[in-house]
Amino acid sequence: MKKGLITLFILVTSLFSLAVRADVLVLVHGYLGGVQSWDRSGITPILLQHDWQRAGTYVAGPAGIQLVPAPGTQARQKFYAVDLPSEAPILVQVYQLREILDAISKTHGDEPVILVGHSAGGVVARAALVRGGAGNVKALITIASPHLGTVRAEQALDATDIPFPLSVITDIFAGDGYDTAMRSRSLYVDLVRPQPGTLLYWLNGQPHPDIQYFSVVRGQSGFGQGDYIVPAYSQDMNNIPALHGKSSLINIPAHHGLEPVDGSVIVNVLSDL
């Protein structure tokens, strides 16, 4: 009888441990985005409705990484949004994201981490895993990310490649959009279509961690389809040489920007992990 009670106690304890398993969701915004991207798109409210609690915001700035805490730090399911310098080169953002992931690991121990990256943020998140190892990360979800580059980056480089003295005129008379593009040139270089010597050519041939991958692709799958910014084939991580056939594909008929439907997709994926 005593042995039976001990066995029952162990079984109940095991089931309870499974029930309180903690997960950490980390949201990585895209180019010209920020932590507000997840709120304005309606994704944050959907996460909150499904018992994912806001744990805080990590801000990368001149003084280093700063945490703005929120009440959900001890919740069973919690999420952090990160604020990276989205105009900076990919590897600059990767370095800061790695610091953030290290800080999260120190706070939450061995709790599993799921990374979600939108647009260029998906490339940043993937590069962070390649450069620093998965650690506690068990899954990566990317949304409309240019894993195989985008011709839009090449067009932006062409548009801002103006020789002297014409460049003086554009510096004086061009608007804020031109100034933003000029500041972002190093990022555009990182997002051109892969060819020897480019960042994506290097990144896409590197060994990737053995975790779960999910590609949220805008529009219909296939060459030439997708959204205005990134073609569908570039959004699908299965087309990355190092990840061929390893990513679950989710097609969403939407524009490039984040939308409430992305919140529902994220929640559904999380429920299956």
10-residue mean pLDDT profile of the chain (273 residues): values are: 39 40 91 97 98 98 93 96 98 97 95 98 98 94 98 92 47 62 95 98 97 91 72 96 96 94 97 93
The CA distance from 124 to 96, in Å, is 10
The CA distance from 140 to 246, in Å, is 11
Predicted local confidence at residue 68, as pLDDT: 96
Cβ partners under 8 Å of residue 113, min gap 6: 23, 24, 25, 26, 101, 104, 105, 135, 136, 137, 138
Structure tokens at 24: 């950490």
> What's the predicted TM-score (pTM) here?
0.88
Where do the DSSP E strands lie in the chain? 23-28, 53-61, 64-69, 77-83, 113-118, 137-143, 212-218, 247-252
Predicted local confidence at residue 11, as pLDDT: 38
Three-state DSSP state, 255? coil
Q: What are phi and psi of 91, to 5 degrees?
A: -70, -25
Q: Which domains are present in the chain?
A: 22-149+199-272 (3.40.50.1820)
Three-state DSSP state, 257? coil
67, 57 Cβ separation under 8 angstroms: yes
The CA distance from 119 to 128, in Å, is 15
97, 134 Cβ separation under 8 angstroms: no
The CA distance from 43 to 115, in Å, is 15
Predicted local confidence at residue 200, as pLDDT: 98
- 132 — alpha (psi -120 to 50), left (phi > 0) or beta? alpha
C-alpha of 235 from chain center: 12
The CA distance from 70 to 39, in Å, is 15
The CA distance from 273 to 268, in Å, is 9
The CA distance from 258 to 39, in Å, is 10
Predicted local confidence at residue 132, as pLDDT: 92
